[in-house]
Amino acid sequence: MFASTASYAQKEITYSVGAFGGITSTFTFDDGISIDPRYQAKYGANFVPGGIHLGVDYMGFGFMVDPQVTQIGQTFNVLNTQRGQVGERSVNITYFQLPFSYKKHIIDLSFFKVSFVAGISYAQLLNANETITHSASKLKFPAAVYSILPDAYQVEYDGVVSPQVSNLETLKKSDFKMVQVIGSLGIRSDWDITDHARLSFDFRANMGAFDPRSADYLDRANNNQRIYEIGGDRRDLFFSLTLGYARYLFIEKKPKPKKIKHFVSYGPKRKKPK
């Protein structure tokens, strides 16, 4: 004989929409700057002025799309021949990012989630420049650029006596690539503070796939046509920390019941007597 029972499997889905902002801190890995005695790295913060969050969470994992404006860039101290600080070189880049991210829930409670996050982003350049400011001082310029130094720069045996410059733009927007691809890894926590409101904290390490500068600029730098630059490859690593607020909708779905047939045995069959 067969008996029938109904089996239900519940599926939980959460949709969320919100906004966020935060800060970034950039580490520029530049082959030229790393060997240039004129510069010394210093660290600071930039901003994520704002972004929009769109997300969906299932049992154990989720997906996010977070369009945002991101500011990155690092500042370097300018050093004279005696290693004294006489100014700053600043890199400033602003992107519009369109990142797509996958979340794997590490802690998955009804009101609190901690997730591992991996993402990839299309980044469109909005603005960028690089400036240098320093007082009148003696700097160690590469000998290869002596022939193109302006008249105000005087070459001596132990360096170049340089005039004061203020916010001299050494790169402008056209010297940067218009498109970048950025990969990210990090941790995210989501706190459901009410039945429909959520706070989120997102910390990530982000890395640009390409040198952010244009091929034309790199060609000039590698051919010693830029007096404040030694040619070399560059990548930007930046850490981002954002705080977000979202409204969410929790949906619990119950699929149609599936009928499962069970075989019921009432004992062995008896053989007929001969």
How do residues 85-131 score in pLDDT, each as one tens digit? 999 999 999 999 999 999 999 999 888 999 999 999 999 999 999 99
Q: Quote the pLDDT of residue 3.
A: 35
CATH topology of domain 12-255: Porin (2.40.160)
Q: Are strands 179-192 and 137-139 parallel, antiparallel or unpaired?
A: unpaired
DSSP 184-214: EEEEEEEEE-SSSEEEEEEEEEEEESS-SB-
- pLDDT of residue 21 exceeding 50, the answer is yes
For the chain, first and last CA: distance in Å? 27
Q: In sequence order, what are the beta bridge partners of 183? A: 120, 207
Query: What is residue 250's predicted lDDT score, i.e. its pLDDT?
Result: 78
- Of 18, 21, 22, the C-alpha closest to 54 is 18
CB 73 within 8 A of CB 92: yes
pLDDT of residue 251: 80
Residue found under tokens 């940067």: 176
